[in-house]
Amino acid sequence: MVDPDHADISVRRQCELLAVNRSGLYYQPCGESAETLHPKRLIDEEYTRRPFYGSRRMRQWLQERGYRVGRHRVRRLMELLGLQAVYPKPRLSQAGEGHRIYPYLLRDVAITRVHRGLCLSRQQELLDSPGWTTNLFTNRGTKASPVAFSKTSGNTGMS
């Protein structure tokens, strides 16, 4: 953009026309120091082995190997490398869109025998599965509970 060897226009005028600061022309970025490169390489290697390490755990891992680094330095180096710990994010237990909410069927049922809850949940699975219907209900207390199941044929309610 700016040509320092231009015969007609000075560097000052070129910078003025381009709306560029002259100090930016002379700035030479310094490279990474060995003091930074080595921990950076170690962080990258350890992250490939254990991507769930965050800055705190990574700092501890480096300190165990004799490096005197703080968490904020490790965090800055991880940001430079574009690394972020893999962990469950917020709202993990929120239901997906269109997800059916199943009622808890054993809320008022007293589990008095071994496998009582398991049997009742299996009966509900059969009731919910397509093509199955109950043939006989018996009234136990206030709740009607299915006694027998049969496979339906076609669109009829019962076979």
Over the stretch 19-45, which tens digit does the pLDDT of each residue have? 989 888 888 888 888 888 999 999 999
Over the stretch 102-117, which tens digit does the pLDDT of each residue have? 777 778 878 787 776 6
Q: Answer yes or no: is pLDDT of 1 > 60.
A: yes
Q: Answer yes or no: is pLDDT of 81 > 60.
A: yes
- Say which residues have a Cβ less than 8 Å from residue 124's Cβ, sequence separation at least 6: 105
Over the stretch 99-158, which tens digit does the pLDDT of each residue have? 888 777 778 878 787 776 666 556 666 566 665 555 444 445 555 555 555 555 554 444
Rounded-to-integer distance, Cα 107 and Cα 77, Å: 52
Rounded-to-integer distance, Cα 63 and Cα 43, Å: 12
Query: What are 57's two structure tokens?
Result: 């755990």
Q: Answer yes or no: is pLDDT of 59 > 90.
A: yes
Name beta bridge partners: 78.
Answer: none
Asked whether 135 and 151 are in contact (CB, 8 A), the reply is no
Asked whether 118 and 124 are in contact (CB, 8 A), the reply is no
Q: Half-sphere exposure (CA, 13 Å, Cβ side) for 60?
A: 4
Model pLDDT, residue 152 = 55
pTM comes to: 0.47
Model pLDDT, residue 31 = 86
How long is the chain? Answer: 159
Asked whether 121 and 114 are in contact (CB, 8 A), the reply is no
Rounded-to-integer distance, Cα 80 and Cα 85, Å: 14
Kindly list the domain boundaries of the chain, sorted by start residue: 1-30, 33-86, 117-151
- Say which residues have a Cβ less than 8 Å from residue 59's Cβ, sequence separation at least 6: 69, 70, 71, 74
Rounded-to-integer distance, Cα 97 and Cα 99, Å: 6
Q: Where are the alpha helices (DSSP H) in 1-81?
A: 11-18, 23-26, 34-49, 55-64, 71-81
